[in-house]
Structures are given as structure tokens and as C-alpha cells.
Structure 1
Amino acid sequence: MRDHNDPTPHHEAIQDLLIEEMRRDLARPKWWRTIWGRISIVSGVLILSSTAVAALVLLESRPVSDTLVVHCLESPSRAPDGSLPGAAVSIAAPDGVVPIEDAEAICAQMWSSGAFGEEDVLNPTPLPGEAPEEFTLCVTEDGEAAVAPGRIECSVLHLHPYQPNVPTGR
């Protein structure tokens, strides 16, 4: 029977439904305790950890281990096919090892000689060019020096930053 002073029809039935819904909400497990919640947490952890490992591997400084080849890059970006744009140089040295300190000088010499910027790659006498003021020395996955024009982060080229060989105190 309806109380004439209560403005809501079916007041007690609605109140019972609300109490039942609140009990269901309180009994429902938290989202992180459900199977989908746990899958989401594990997926997120895996994605974050794999991204962190990839970043650490890419940003890890490396010494140059192969001093026979120096890559002189024409631009501070990769070619559309993923290769390094420019030229690889190998210079004979008395002991067969090119000092890595000379890598930037070698590339500056290539820039000055007109090796980069020439429209006709078959021109036997290219016009002299202008070398960039600064270079960045990076290291390829194979341990070879890669010298890019300008000051850039090696990770932009998917290369490692250069770490000079520091002799240990043994």
C-alpha cells in the first residue's frame, strides 16, 4: 500500500533495488583482480620493459672496434632504404689501423674535395666543396665509425654514441 505522504511511487521497491545494486558493486572484484585486468597489467609491464631495453641498447655508448672503415655520411639522416647515405672510406695506414681520431678529418677532407654535393656522381673532377663546421662521431652495429655532419644524437640514425677506448689501469 502506498503512503500518501511519500511522493515517490513504489518507494520501497526502488530502495530495495538500489540496496541490491550497491551490494553487487561492493562484492564485485576490483578491475586488477579480474582476468582481463591481470592481462592488461602484464601486457603493460612487458611493453614498458621491452621499450626500456630497446632504448638502453640503442643509447649504449660503444667504442669503435673496426678501424679499417669510416662511414662519411652525406646527411644527418638515413636513406629511405635504411642505409647510411654517403661513402665508406678505407685508408691504408702503416700498421693497417686508421686512428679513429682521424675519422672526422677524413670526412672533412671528403667534403672539401667535393665528394658530396656533386650532381654528377661520375664527374672525375668535382668542384671543391665546403665541409661542415662540426661532425658527430657514431658507431654502427658492426663497430665501424660513422661520421655525420652537424651535431646530432646518434640515436636519430639508429647508431650508438661513440665511446672512446679508455685504457684500464692494469
Structure 2
Amino acid sequence: MTLEQIVKQSQGEQYVYPDVFTDKCGLDIILSNDNLHAVRSWGYTKGNPKRRATLEITTFRGISSNAVHHYGKIKIQGVNMECDGKPGHSKMIFDDNIPLAHYTYELVLKRPLTKEEIDKDPERWGDYYNEGDLTNCFKTIEDVIELAKQVFRLRFTGEWEFYVESPYNKYRGKLEINV
């Protein structure tokens, strides 16, 4: 997949984020009128300078047969806005104009619908969706994880670590991704 395709399939619901997240994203923010500047918020230690992105997987089981859906959201550690001259004193900023000043960033994962899916379940998809339209509903957890790996490879640069949170133990923990 290309970066453009991956960006379309991993968008913030509330904010527009950069196509690529460097490990320094947001750290250059200075709000001089508020006497605030950005600092690391991700539990930085000399032993582990990496930022963390976590894939959060949720599952929904409906009442009709085979109605199991999986959803994925990548939560990205953002920044703290620290008060100038007061190390350790910070404020939360929720300014829609500067989303990288927030404590966390979130990307919702989506996949394109296929013609076969629409044809197979016209009551659900037929009148509302076209082939290629995006949905946040995945068929398997493995599909969610595979897309998340592609997002991580293309949208994250620098010192990052990637984790998975899932309702199933099999899919929890640190995930090694070959870049």
C-alpha cells in the first residue's frame, strides 16, 4: 500500500494529523501567550527514550448469526504542555487548531468494502455503500493487526515502540514490526 492509501485508512475522528508521525512530533510547540512549551509525555527515561503507539482492538458480537466485528484504533502518546520556568508543572491543552499539543492522538483504522461483501449482504451495505467505501468494521482481529502494522511502517518514523491491547491474551503486548 502507498502512504496515501494508508493515511485514508487511518484517520483521526476529531483532528487532522500529519501523514507521518516522527518521534519528535509535537515537541516543537510553544504557546508563548500561555507561557507553555511541549515536553515528552510518554514516561521518558534515559533507559527507554521511545514513544509508544498502542493498537486498541475491540470486538462486538451482534444477535444475528456470524455478526462478529472487530475494530481498531491506534492511540499515540502525545505531549504535555509544561509551564515555562516550572519544570514538572503542566497543563492539558485541547485546542482544535493545534492537535499535536494534546496528551494523546488517535487514529481509527478503516478498510475498503468489496463488491462481494455488498452483494452478499445487500440489506446491510447495498443502499448505503459502494465498493471501495471505507468501514471501521473488520472481519478478523488478524485483519486489524495487519493494517495496523502497515500504518505503523508507513506513518511512524524514529524511535517508536508498538503495543497491542486486545480482549484476547493471544493478541496482547509488544509487537515487533519489521520496517
Report the TM range for the smaller structure's normalisation: under 0.3
Higher percent of residues as strand: 2
TM-score (norm 2): 0.20
Higher percent of residues as helix: 1
**Larger Rg, first or second structure (1 or 2):** 1
TM-score (norm 1): 0.21
